[in-house]
Amino acid sequence: MIHIRPYQLFEKVSGTMTVPIPKRSSRESQSVTLLETAVLISLVRLVNAKSLVEIGTCRGVTTLNLLINTDVQIISIDIERQPRDYDGTKYASRVSELLIDTKNFTPEPESTDFVFVDADHTMPAAMIDSKHAHSMARKCIAWHDYQNPLYPELAAYLNSIPNLYHIEDTQIAFWLKDRL
């Protein structure tokens, strides 16, 4: 695991970011912090991603922020449909939703530039989602909840993957096809 400070990523990309305050005040809708949101936007910009698969969308807060701040087309993979923060916005047309458990999903190899994994954090599910992500991603994979004390097995699993980066002061780990 290669640990880097956020500025080491931010200095590699340019532009400003707009991050709206989520519609809900629950902890669930705020699971990705503002710093983590900036990191994800920066990673998408760094690799010039045009397509992204998000495994685990929940309420779509992260999805909306990626839509606002990049030109990416998103495929959202989640088990169930619930109201999303991007519903009814001008960005909603850039999202395709796939409601399926990833255990029953067969990904198309090298079908997307970027994969963001923030779904079921159990070891079996994390391994399945990561296997799918490595199959699909052409440029970058990012995982949320790295070093989250609620999911120690996730950190242990991610630590076994070679050439992974961790952004300090966040729970974001990522892999790049081309090193940073």
In a domain, residue 18? The reply is no
Separation CA 65–CA 38 (nearest Å): 9
Kind and range of the H or E element at 65?
helix 61-69
Q: Give residue 154's domain range.
A: 2-12+31-176
Check residue 33 and give its pLDDT. Answer: 92
pLDDT reading at 131 higher than 50? yes
Check residue 180 and give its pLDDT. Answer: 73
In a domain, residue 107? The reply is yes
52: left (phi over 0), alpha (psi -120 to 50) or beta: beta
Contacts for 145 with CB less than 8 Å, ≥ 6 apart: 118, 121, 151, 154, 171
Q: What is the CATH number of the domain that holds 68?
A: 3.40.50.150
In a domain, residue 49? The reply is yes
User: Could you give the number of structural domains in the chain?
Assistant: 1
In a domain, residue 64? The reply is yes
Burial class (CB in 10 A: 0-12, 13-18, 19+), 124: exposed
Q: What is the mean pLDDT of residues 29-53?
A: 91
In a domain, residue 17? The reply is no
Condensed to tens digits (0 to 9), the pLDDT of residues 50-92 reads 999 999 999 999 999 999 999 999 999 999 999 999 999 999 9
In a domain, residue 24? The reply is no
